[in-house]
Structure 1
Amino acid sequence: MNAGDFASTPLPNIDGLSTVSASLLAIVLSHGHRDHWGLVPKVNPAIPLIMGKATESIIRAAADFVPDAVVLNANQYLEHRKPIQIGPFTIVPRLVDHSGFDAYAMEIVSGGKRVFYSGDLRAHGRKRKLFDALISDPPRNIDLMLMEGSSLGRLSDDETFPSEEDLETTFVSRFEQTDGIALVACSAQNIDRVVTIYRAAKRTGRTLIIDAYAAEVLKATGHDSIPQPAPGWSNLAVYIPQRQRVQLKAKGIAALVDDYRGFRIWQEQLAGSAPRSVMLFRGWMMSDLDRANALVGARVFWSQWDGYLAEGQSGAALKSDCDRRGIAFETIHTSGHAGPSDLKRLAAAVAAKRLIPIHTFERLRFPTLFENVSLINDGEWVEIL
């Protein structure tokens, strides 16, 4: 299902989602991207939620900053290869490489039948060793595999996406060519990309400037190996845009900026530091930079899905603003999902008796790429024989 908006999108027709039913034991979230949990606020609140601990923390951290966001409370946490028992079901999570942090594939076993759900995954991120480990030691004797195909249609069958290391190299080159501030428009929740940008900034002698939202998301990962405003991290600064200052005060959480002591950069410092800075950036921050006279020699780098650059989307408005201001605009991005060749490797390694496409607009391509494919419609129940 591709939901248009939250209010008008009905819940799937599954007993227990809106009313109490003993047949629905829990909802398991593979990771924190909204297309995987967006309708959860509509379900019966008595249903237990299961997700990764960092997923819960990041969703909670984002809730103070993102419109229409919610806080989701886990009853139990997913951990890499640690089995969970839910009624007659045993779930074995597998941490995977994905643009969403703390993402899992899952093996589900019950009644002697075995299902493997790929979740969202890739093999070209900073955690690609997880994909390699999955290929070298896949779940065995799988009766049914549910496999994502988000990237199908974006590449030819023999093409591959650039890696995060490839992007780092490109960013280094572009930052060196930028006279003023380098503005990178990417999601703060794409932790791999933030690490890539931080490393490129450091390699070029620049400081990465983040806002309070990004700072809280980075802290919420729970990993001190990830850049964040904490002891031991250099080349990092926190700027609180005017709109965010108002927002924090209105929510009564302005005190959280106290944690950024020693990392703060102020509006009057932006112009002077611009040639030595990279900013994690969103279009509405442009007015702050304009008031600070910090846009001289600036360049904008779009590092998100190019679908957001289509007419009517936020990216299109940003590009138009850059064109009007004479600011160079360039896309530097790679997919958060596996390409066709890596999906082929995964399907061959698991060798499921049946493979069902999910999370794709190109399901009709599956039978030409993979073995034992069954095309199943939304809402159609599948019996595992």
Structure 2
Amino acid sequence: MEIIIHRGATQIGGSVTEYRYNGWRLFVDFGEQLPGTPVYVQLDMEGLTKGDLSKSAMLITHYHGDHIGNIHQIPMEIPVFMGKLGIEIQKITSNHLKEVDRKQACLLERLNKAIPFEAGTAFEFGPFEIMPIVIDHSAFDACAFKIKTDDTSVFHTGDFRTHGFRSGKFLKAIDKYIGKVDYVICEGTNVKRSDAALQSEHDLQKQLEAEFWQYKFNIVYLSSTNIDRLFSLYHAALRIGIPFIVDSHQKRIMDAVVKSDHIWAKSSLYKYGKCKPMVLKYDKDNPGEHLISEKFIAFLKQKGYVLIARSNPRFDHLIDKMPGESKQCYLSMWNGYVSNPASPSYNKELAAALGKGYLYRHTSGHCDMKNLRKLFVQLSPKAIIPIHTDAPEAFAKLFNDQWPVRLLQDGDLFILHSKKLF
């Protein structure tokens, strides 16, 4: 088997990896580059966007834009495989945005042809045997893959973490479905934060619940597709007995999870309690505005609320009308969006909406280095190849005491041997 990291060997985001064997090609992810990436690379790849496409397929790990954002460039004859619920969540998002973003309309069209797989059930494409397993990430239904041919086995991690609600079962799933492998192709997003103590989702939920007790009027800026965080905040508000308010788009995403037959959706975390989320309505007489009546204002003034918000004029106008002279705002996503006005990632609308007194309440969607080591011990690879990292040399320094770490450059072709290296 051969591997080419078309993009992602030295950057976070924009991931595209290719596996080759006997003339067949299996690609993993085709993502957008993140804002501020030093070098923009427009990819035109043999077997994916041009040339002979008859022996090519694409695997998608999850629906974040830096992994799925360019799949509309893939010709329709190439099969695209993705988790069933992940497809549905992205289709809801793309359908919501298609009128204002032509690219989302193209993504929706491509996703309508996507082929769902079932985690824990192996399938084949040409000479490749593929075993998908569900992993914990800030995207629901994210998957990692064991990719096996006659001569080699690889574990492609995708983005994952070990401090989410379900992470305690991760190594058991590795043992059951993956076993030992020859290579690990591993994300290294947090390598520069190797000593970071990452807060667990459970502890973050407890912290926010305590703050919802303290503050009556709460506004949380949060990605609508961060399913774990959405339901975590919903159940925190439910236990306190205050209304949890979302817009219709956020509610459609929550409903998709609640109604799903996904193995994780069986958990009580993803079920509605006695009081379902309250859904904002649009004002038919004032396009672009949410409807907020005097009765609704009086109700919220008495009960308090947790509002899941986005930084746009519609929410800004709504928040101005909602009760509470002292509203507590929270940022529950990456703080790089508001920390540096000179950064390409800076979102001035979000920064303005948050104001000065917001609380930063977030935890990473990526693994820490201590638990990466535990994964490597269990997989017992002959070598590791880092991707999705802007510090590959630091990654190698951390782990080459126990395993060979092969550092590739974008576009390099590397032969994956089944024999032990070094």
Q: Does 1:200 align with 2:236?
A: yes
| 63-72 vs 365-374, greater mean Cα deviation | 63-72
Instruction: Classify 1:314/1:280 alpha carbon distance in 2 versus 1 (closer, same or farther; 3 Å).
Output: farther
1:177 to 202, 214, 217: 214
Q: Does 1:355 align with 2:394?
A: no
1:364 Cα offset (Å): 1.2
SS in 2 for 1:97: coil
How far residue 43 of structure 1 moved from its aligned partner, in angstroms, is 1.9
Match of 2:350 in 1: 318
Partner of 1:82: 121
Question: Matched residues in 1 for 2:361 and 2:168: separation?
Answer: 23
Tell me, in whole angstroms, the C-alpha distance in 2 between the residues paired with 1:331 and 1:31: 25
Q: Secondary structure at the match of 1:382?
A: strand
Q: Which has the higher contact order (CA 8 A, sep 6+)?
A: 2
- Does the Cα contact within 8 Å between 1:267 and 1:288 map onto a contact in 2? no
**Aligned partners of 2:122, 2:270: CA distance in 1, in Å?**
34
**C-alpha distance after superposition, 1:328-352 (max 9, x if no partner):** 3010000011111111111111111
Residues 136, 164 of structure 2: 8 Å contact kept: yes
Q: Is the 8 A contact 2:81 2:117 kept in 1?
A: yes
* Cα pair distance change 1:236/1:321, threshold 3 Å: closer
Q: Identical aligned pairs, as a percentage? A: 27
Flag the 1:154–1:50 CA change in 2: closer, same or farther, 3 A: same
Please tell me whether residue 286 in structure 1 is matched to residue 287 in structure 2: no
- Structure 1 residues 115-154: Cα deviation after superposition (integer angstroms, max 9, x where no partner): 1101111111112133132454473342221001112213
**Which stretches in structure 1 are left out of the alignment for 5+ residues?**
249-263
Unaligned stretches of 5+ in structure 2? 1-6, 8-13, 15-32, 418-422
- What letter corresponds to residue 233 of structure 2 in structure 1? I
State the partner residue of 2:95. 64
Deviation at 1:34, TM superposition (A): 1.1
Give the structure 1 partner of residue 19 of structure 2: none
CA drift of 1:382 comes to 1.3
* Aligned match for 2:203, one of 166, 173, 178: 166
Distance (Å, rounded) in 2 between the aligned partners of 1:230 and 1:121: 23
Q: Post-superposition shift, 1:11?
A: 4.9
2:145 paired residue among 106, 124, 130 = 106
Match of 1:239 among 267, 272, 280: 280
For residues 85-96 of structure 1, what are the structure 2 equivalents within 5 Å? 85-96=124-135
CA shift at 1:103, angstroms? 0.8
| 1:146 partnered with 2:185 | yes
Letter in 2 for 1:289: I
3-state DSSP of counterpart to 2:204: helix
Is the CA contact 1:11–1:39 (under 8 Å) kept in the aligned structure 2?
A: no
8 Å CA contact 1:195–1:227 kept in 2: the answer is no
- Is residue 303 of structure 2 the alignment partner of residue 273 of structure 1? no
Does the 8 A contact of 1:97 with 1:103 survive in 2? yes
Displacement of 1:73 in angstroms is 2.7
Deviations 1:24-57 (A, max 9, x none): 4211101111111111111222211100000110
Q: Distance in 2 between matches of 1:29 and 1:145?
A: 17
Read off the aligned partner of 1:383 and give its amino acid letter.
Answer: I
1:297-336 equivalence runs, <5 A: 297-309=326-338, 310-311=340-341, 313=345, 315-323=347-355, 328-336=357-365
Residue in 2 that maps onto 1:117: 156
Find the partner of 2:413 among 374, 381, 384. Answer: 381
Q: Which moved more, 1:314-323 or 1:338-347?
A: 314-323
Alpha-carbon distance in 2 for matches of 1:365, 1:247: 48
Letter in 2 for 1:304: M
- Distance across 2 between alignment mates of 1:138 and 1:343: 18
Give the residue type in structure 1 aligned to 2:169. L
Aligned match of 1:51 in 51, 61, 82? Answer: 82
Change (3 A) 1:155 1:185: farther
Secondary structure class of the residue paired with 1:115: strand
Report SS of the residue matched to 2:193: coil
1:219 to 2:255 alignment:
yes
Return the offset for 1:110.
Answer: 1.0
Given that 1:11 and 1:42 are in contact with CA atoms closer than 8 Å, whether structure 2 keeps it comes out as no
CA deviation string 1:289-345 (max 9, x = no partner): 21x24342211110001111132656543333443xxx7301000001111111111
**TM-score if structure 1 supplies the norm length?**
0.85
| Aligned partners of 1:185 and 1:303 also within 8 Å | yes
Partner SS for 1:63: helix
Aligned length: 360
Partners of 1:234 and 1:118 in 2: CA distance: 37
